[in-house]
Amino acid sequence: MALPTPGRIAYIKARLLDPATGLDGPGGLLADGEHIVDFGQGLFQPESLPEGTRIVDCCGYCLAPGLVDIRMQLREPGYEYKDSMQYTCLSAVKGGVTSMVCLPNTIPVIDNVATVEFIARRARLIGLTKVYAYGAATKGLQGIELAEMGLLAKAGAVGFTDGIHPIADALVMRRALSYAGTFGLTIVQHPEEPSLAAGGVMNEGEVATRLGLAGIPACAESILLARDLRLVELTGSRYHAAHISTAEGLETLCRAKDKGLPVSCDTAPFYFALNELAVSDYRTFAKLSPPLRCERDRQAVMEGLCLGLIDAIVSDHAPQDQDSKRRPFAQAASGGVGLETLLAVTLELYQNGHMSLLSALHLVTSGPANLLGLEAGRLIRGGAADLVLFTPDTAWIVVADVMGSKSKNSPFDNLPVQGRVLRTVIDGRTVFSAAVEESV
């Protein structure tokens, strides 16, 4: 079913923000159909607009490129009882996310052309957030035999990963890097040495000992990173480390970047806004993979963001049904929902004075888009009108029960945040709106 074509819309009285160009100032933006026609300061007055132009008064709020999330989990196909693409996309637009990239851990696994095409077709049919897919690095995510990367890339896969599983075999990783490199695409790794992490359910340390829970040492991250980065040096292929959570891991990546290796990394809001104390009282909503770390590691992740060592912030959205979460801590599933809180928690970096508003937005717009070569995350004349209108100062309490996702397992449940999405626009169409003055 074809989606209705939006008409000409003028967004006036906005604070325009574009981290890709450093734009930050009062102005407006004109969209015609699916594309941006023009934007800038003093662009137009309402009386000078062509007849039939709809006017959206932004009331001085921030108008920026829509958010780009390059690590999240779809539960469709295969796990619809946890979430569906419809609910996930609804959650995304409520959070201002206009483009996102899903991991391949669906059923069937995204290791064949048919599943890549299914994801793209379903997303177009729903007509909300644009959904891209990673292809599986190995068949069935088994870590043994490489998937058909060439066919997956041709079908639209934007990178290759085994998702929530590390590529543990060094020879398989070497071959994956070499193969992906022939297509100019990136291998994305979940950096956790599996034998060290086996049986662990939270960060190893004093808190785990006090709670009587098996721990995962911080070095599980840095050990696998060190191995992988030697293989990157050997192959020259692009490598991305997902959801970095430790000081040791960041130190390892820093040395690789200093050598000029083609490496990048991301983290999620969980790892700079929370620490292992969030699992006190055996709170399973805060059971994540990798686990929440100690305060020293949290501060190191924050410093890595401020220094530019970390290239992007991702939601790491992982919906889990209640039966999977409301169990004894050791048996509960890992993961938390994060699409609707991505912007607000990222804005803590700005609210707390750690970085400028543009720098914080770069980590969730042009930064992640650049890593995967996506045409998103920036304001471009003639480009897609994918926008988010938000206020950076509005305080609110995260209430998991009212989130758009079918699953409600947010580690930020009942916590205060600042920054509220007011409107999300995709290809010129308003797909989410909350209390914005509009006139025709």
Which residues does the annotation mark as catalytic? 316
Q: For residue 267, list its beta bridge partners.
A: 313
Nearest C-alpha neighbor of 281 from the set 331, 215, 328, 321: 328
For 178, the token pair is 């070499």
Element (H, E) at 368: helix 366-372
- Candidates 301, 302, 291, 104; CA nearest to 196 is 291
Residue 426 CA, distance from chain mean position: 17
Cα distance between residue 379 and residue 112, in whole Å: 34
Element (H, E) at 219: helix 219-235
Token output for 272: 């700079």
CA-derived radius of gyration, the chain: 21
Sign of CA dihedral 349, 352, 355, 358: positive
CA distances from 124 to 133, 155, 306, 389 (A): 13, 15, 36, 23
d(CA 130, CA 63): 19
The half-sphere exposure of 345 on its side-chain side, counting CA atoms within 13 A, is 26
**Nearest-CA neighbor of 177 among 169, 186, 167, 168?**
186
Helices (DSSP H) in 113-200: which residue ranges? 113-126, 149-155, 170-181, 194-197
